[in-house]
Structure formats: structure tokens, C-alpha cells
């Protein structure tokens, strides 16, 4: 009889655990559905929904994003992987909906809805741009002059004569202004970096790294996760990435 009672107790305990797990899954499913239905940019204002999204989004980030962006989201300028924790966004202004679009469709990922613009030409190739055949290569002197102009955009000391020549190339035959704008402030609508601040997507902002970018070009890729992650997981990781740049005292990434 004692053994029978023990089995009954164990069976009852297992049933309670199964019921509890089922309730947990039902609550999670309902919350995920509410998260997906919500306006993505309204989620940060909903404390309970944001707490749920970021808790689950961190595991998605750790499994799919940390390999490139790092465990803490600080990126890797050696590979042109953006820092997700600062106040400088390459695409958009750091809203959840904008982050979500990148996660869904990627950047230069060959998905038709991805951001595919702002490919940096390689100005030492005979044909610097793959898409703009009228952009000519730069001579070694021209390469040095444009580098000096970019240095001057950030307010750093530069050779005035070289920077002036470089500015003519930047806003003339080089076509740099078309993406970076004439003042070098960049264009977040297409992912063209701001050249006037101290934040660098590639390298450390030294003359050597700037010249390397102009000479060799860049066309970094972020994969598209549509079809690989669920809509709920994409919303969750977008909310988590949002929090990386919206800690106390910060206003963007």
C-alpha cells in the first residue's frame, strides 16, 4: 500500500508539472501574439511587454548575432561590424521597427527587401564602382588628397592645400558626396556613414585606415533572418538590440 501511495503521489506531481508547463506555454504564446500584433515602436513604452521581449530576445541575440556583433553588442571595426551600443546608427535612427527590418531582410543579403545601397567604391581599381561605371579611379595623389579632406571633416588638423584639392574630388568626379553628402554627414536612409564624427565603421579614423577604405572599398553584409527566425523572435531580438543603445543616459545607437 505504501508503494502504491508513492506512485500515486509521483503521478499526481507529474500531472501538476505538466499542467503548469502547459499554462506557461499558453501564457508565453499569448504574450508573443500580443507582441507581434503591437506597433513595434510602441513596445518600449509597455514595461511588461518589453521585459518579456528583451528576456527572450537576448537568447536569440546570443545564438544568432553575438558571433559578429559580440556578446555585448560593441561590434568589430576591423571587420566593419557596427557597434550597437552607441548613439550612432548607420541605418535609420534606432527605432525598433528599423532594427526589425534589418533583422528580417538584412543588408546586401540578396534579399529583394534588403538595404542594398551605399556600396563603397574601391578607388584604386580601374573601375571603382560595380554599379556606377562613370566613377573614375583616383591617382595616388588624389587618394592622399581625399584622405586629407576626410580628416579635415572631423575638425582635426589637416594639410589645408591637400584638403582643398581632396574636397574638389569628394564633391566632384569622385562622387563621394552622392552618398556621404557634401558636408560628409552621411545618409542614414541608405547606410552611408557620417564622416564628421569620431565613430568609425571601419578602422580607427587614422589616415591609414581612411586611405585603406577609399582605396579598397567596402560592402559589408548582414544576413536576412526571415524564414529562419519566427516573427516573434525577430521582434524580440529587435527589442533587445534597442535596449543596448537605450541604457540610462543614452538616446540612440
Q: Is residue 202 part of a domain?
A: yes
Q: Is residue 9 part of a domain?
A: no
CATH number at residue 185: 1.10.760.10
Q: How many domains does the chain have?
A: 1
pLDDT digits (tens, 9 = 90+) for 154-176: 999 999 999 999 999 999 999 99
Q: What confidence category does residue 44 fall into, taking pLDDT thresholds of 50, 70 and 90?
A: very high
**Radius of gyration (C-alpha) of the chain in whole angstroms:** 25
With pLDDT > 70 as the criterion, what percentage of the chain qualifies?
A: 87
Residue 145, Cβ neighbours under 10 Å: how many? 24
The whole-angstrom separation of Cα 74 and Cα 105 is 22
Q: Is residue 175 part of a domain?
A: yes
The pTM of the full predicted model, rounded to 2 decimals, is 0.85
pLDDT digits (tens, 9 = 90+) for 182-195: 999 999 999 999 99
pLDDT digits (tens, 9 = 90+) for 91-141: 999 999 999 999 999 999 999 999 998 899 999 999 999 888 899 999 999
Instruction: Note down the domain range covering 152.
Output: 140-216
Contact yes or no for 94/109 (Cβ under 8 A): no
Q: Is residue 82 part of a domain?
A: no
Q: Is residue 212 part of a domain?
A: yes
Q: Is residue 178 part of a domain?
A: yes
Contact yes or no for 213/205 (Cβ under 8 A): no
Q: Is residue 47 part of a domain?
A: no
Q: Is residue 60 part of a domain?
A: no
- First-last CA distance in the chain: 66
Amino acid at each position: 500500500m505504501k508503494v502504491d501511495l508513492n506512485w500515486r503521489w509521483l503521478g499526481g506531481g507529474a500531472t501538476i508539472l505538466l499542467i503548469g508547463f502547459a499554462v506557461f506555454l499558453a501564457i508565453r504564446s499569448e504574450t508573443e501574439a500580443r507582441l507581434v500584433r503591437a506597433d513595434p515602436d510602441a513596445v518600449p513604452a509597455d514595461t511588461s511587454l518589453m521585459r518579456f521581449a528583451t528576456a527572450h530576445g537576448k537568447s536569440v541575440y546570443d545564438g544568432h548575432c553575438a558571433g559578429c556583433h559580440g556578446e555585448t553588442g560593441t561590434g568589430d571595426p576591423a571587420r566593419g561590424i557596427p557597434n550597437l551600443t552607441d548613439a550612432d546608427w548607420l541605418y535609420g535612427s534606432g527605432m525598433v521597427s528599423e532594427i526589425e527590418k534589418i533583422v528580417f531582410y538584412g543588408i546586401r543579403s540578396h534579399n529583394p527587401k534588403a538595404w542594398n545601397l551605399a556600396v563603397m567604391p574601391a578607388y584604386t581599381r580601374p573601375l571603382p564602382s560595380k554599379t556606377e561605371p562613370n566613377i573614375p579611379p583616383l591617382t595616388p595623389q588624389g587618394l592622399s588628397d581625399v584622405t586629407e579632406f576626410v580628416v579635415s571633416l572631423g575638425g582635426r588638423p589637416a594639410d589645408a592645400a591637400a584638403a582643398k584639392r581632396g574636397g574638389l574630388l569628394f564633391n566632384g568626379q569622385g562622387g563621394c558626396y552622392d552618398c556621404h553628402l557634401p558636408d560628409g554627414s552621411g545618409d542614414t536612409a541608405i547606410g552611408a556613414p557620417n564622416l564628421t564624427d569620431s565613430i568609425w565603421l571601419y578602422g580607427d579614423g587614422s589616415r591609414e585606415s581612411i586611405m585603406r577604405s577609399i582605396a579598397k572599398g567596402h560592402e559589408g553584409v548582414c544576413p536576412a533572418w526571415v524564414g529562419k527566425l519566427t516573427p516573434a523572435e525577430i521582434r524580440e531580438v529587435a527589442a533587445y538590440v534597442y535596449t543596448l543603445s537605450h541604457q540610462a543616459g543614452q538616446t540612440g545607437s
